A and B are shown apart, each in its own frame.
Chain A
Amino acid sequence: MNDGLMIEVENLTKRYSGHAAVSNISFTVRRGEIVGLLGPNGAGKSTTMRILACYLPATSGTVRVAGLDVYEHSEEVRRRIGYMPENNPLHYDMRVREYLKFRARLKGLSRRRSRERVDVVMEQCDLTHVSRRIIGQLSKGYRQRVGLADALVHEPELIILDEPTIGLDPHQIRAVRQLIKSLACDHTVLISTHILPEAEMTCNRMVIMYEGSILAADSPDNLQRFMSGHSQILAEIAAPLEELNECWAQMPEVEQFDVSPAEGAYHRCALTPRDGLDLRPRIYELARQRGWLLRELTRNRHSLEDIYVQVTRPEEEEES
């Protein structure tokens, strides 16, 4: 049953007093993957993560982590999970080292092991030089790293990070991303974010959520390919208008085309290829054969941003 699957979510539903925060979602995460839960605020990402981390019970459906049910084997599951909640709550009155040691001991590490692990994670998260500072006096970036260090301290198999880069400056975001990527070799990571480039850069796979349901789940590349059916190729060619029109009309791979004059002898051709084919080599070859001057040839790739906006856009808007 547990063939390399770290997380198995089946028909998960969570209702808060009648209102469904998460409705009937299913997804799986394999060992060693970095998966991003992506969605606007209120999409149900945090709720899903809280259920995975055994903080909240599911209303219905089953959730298994490493083959263990999160409700039946709650403590065993918690031992395998490193969870950093949204807004990263910490004991602000404690010192960094003291806090991490407290957390390590709480998670059942022996005295010696906890000392070793605290040193390792402080090194990993670049906290060694602030180990004696009081957490409440640290900057947000450092606090975030303390939260991360806490999630890592007991060497969990699965790391769940709820919005790990929120409120950080670009340098800190880069550092946190680096850290997350470096974890990928021997941990499974589930992160949630509403910032798309973040997911695009760090994750092997993305699960896009909206209003409690999953809209799409695939690798960033596949999601892009899926969308590229609507991509366009732009070419600026110095050639007579009629010749261009005739040429595109004869090409079977071109679904639609639009030729408009640009400055000088150039014309701007916008081509929509069939089935998301890449027509650029064909166009270059054509220009060479006919002796046209070609000064621009680009493919308008739909960025993930477009996909994201498209799938999470409210339906009314699409209808209108």
Chain B
Amino acid sequence: MQAYLTLTRRELSGYFLSMTGYIIIAAALFLMGLSFVVLLEKLQLEPTLMPVTELFYITPFFWLILLLSTPVITMRLFALEKFSGTFETLMTAPVSDREVVLAKFTAALVFYMIMWLPLLGCLLIVRHYTNDPSAFDLGAVGSTFLGILLLGCLFLSLGCCASAMTRSQVTAAMISLVFGATLFLVGVLSSQLPLRPSWQTQVLAALSFFEQMHDFARGVIDTRAVVLYLSATLFFLFLTLRIVESRRWK
């Protein structure tokens, strides 16, 4: 436990000791700000019943932030350490492989959530200027952040896995971007297809990330989605653990 906490702290501080952390946050903040400009423009034209979080979600910036930030956050986790050789000092310290994987994932997740915090500020500003207390509905905001957290878990665990596979940060980012984008496109595809009762469409429907996140932004928590995201995260973390362990396979 002590090793896990120590390592998580080190990983998290790693983001802020180099420029990477600040650049990622600045870029995400820029995109969030842009999306709120679009959103406020829309609100001026016509009143709507949608909660602000949903309005934010249907601007294209949400997925852009998610898809671009997760590979950049996770690419350094293992690849950088393998490249610089510190992986050797880390793995020869008395820490278990599981602690290492979990600590790195936790640090990435905490950083990712810090990156999303300015969204709260944006929502508060909207409430302030619309003078409508319902614009900042706690339930909807909570479920939006839950959705962000769960989707983040999925994409970050995917990124962890990619980073553990290689010594090059660029390769790690490429792999996780490709797989992340594929997941997203599968989600889009499933919302485009007509519902016909065949097993293919049913599988696709289960993977409709696009629609599921829409639910979260609307304030609806669908347990199927929660289970899907958590189990996929566990799967990718397990895969990462196996990759890290493979070094010691005979």
A residues at B contact (CB < 8 Å) = 50, 53-59, 71, 74-76, 78-79, 81, 83, 85, 87, 89-94, 102-103, 105-108, 150
Q: Are A105 and B6 in touch, CB under 8 angstroms? A: yes
Q: Which residues on the B side are within 8 Å of A108 (C-beta)?
A: 2-3, 94
A89 contacts B89, C-beta separation under 8 Å: yes
Bound together, the chains give a CA A103 to CA B3 distance in angstroms of 9
> In the complex, are the beta carbons of B14 and A106 less than 8 A apart?
no
Q: A56-B248, A57-B250, A89-B85 are in contact. Are A81 and B92 (CB under 8 A)?
A: yes
Q: B94, A89: Cβ atoms under 8 Å? A: no
Contact A83 B2, CB 8 Å, known A56-B248, A57-B248? no
User: What CA separation (Å) do A79 and B94 show in the bound complex?
Assistant: 5
Q: Is the CB of A75 within 8 A of B96?
A: yes
Once A89-B85, A93-B14, A105-B6 are accepted as A-B contacts, the answer to whether A55 and B92 lie under 8 Å apart by CB is yes
Interface positions, chain B 1-43, Cβ under 8 Å from A, are 2-3, 6-7, 10, 14, 17-18
A83 and B7 form a contact (CB under 8 A)? no
Pair A85/B88 contact, Cβ less than 8 Å:
yes
CB-CB < 8 A to B7: which residues of A?
Answer: 106
Taking A79-B94, A89-B85 as given, write out 20 further A-B residue pairs in contact, using a Cβ cutoff of 8 Å, ordered by the A residue number: A50-B88, A54-B248, A56-B248, A57-B248, A57-B250, A58-B250, A59-B250, A85-B88, A89-B84, A89-B88, A93-B14, A102-B6, A103-B93, A105-B2, A105-B6, A106-B7, A106-B90, A107-B93, A108-B2, A108-B3
A sample of 22 cross-chain residue pairs with beta-carbon separation below 8 angstroms, ordered by A number, consists of A54-B91, A55-B88, A57-B250, A71-B248, A74-B248, A75-B94, A76-B94, A83-B92, A85-B85, A85-B92, A89-B84, A89-B85, A89-B89, A91-B14, A91-B86, A92-B84, A93-B14, A105-B2, A106-B3, A107-B94, A108-B3, A108-B94
B125 at the interface (CB under 8 A from A): no
A89 touching B2 by the CB < 8 A rule?
no
Verify A53–B18 contact, CB threshold 8 A: no
Residues of the B chain whose Cβ atoms lie less than 8 Å from the Cβ of A54 = 91-92, 248
Is A78 within 8 A of B93, CB to CB?
yes
A50 CB → nearest B CB, Å: 8
Q: Once the chains bind, are B93 and A106 in contact (CB under 8 Å)?
A: yes
Q: Assuming A78-B93, A83-B89, A89-B89, is B6 touching A57 (CB within 8 A)?
A: no
Which residues from B are CB-within-8-Å of A79? Answer: 94
Is there an interface contact between A150 and B89, defined as CB atoms closer than 8 Å? yes
Provide the bound-state CA to CA distance between A56 and B245, in Å. Answer: 10
- Complex Cα distance, B2 from A245, in Å, reads 79
Q: List, in ascending order, chain A residues with CB within 8 A of B18's CB.
A: 93
Residues of A near B199 (CB, < 8 A) are: none
A53→B91 CA distance, assembly (Å):
9
- Residues of A within 8 Å of B249, CB to CB, are 57
B92-A106 in contact (CB<8A): no
Compute how far the CA of A94 lies from the CA of B14 in the bound complex, rounded to whole angstroms: 8
Interface membership of B196, Cβ < 8 A? no
Contact of B95 among A50, A55, A106 (CB under 8 A): A106
Q: Let me know if B247 is at the binding interface, CB within 8 A.
A: yes
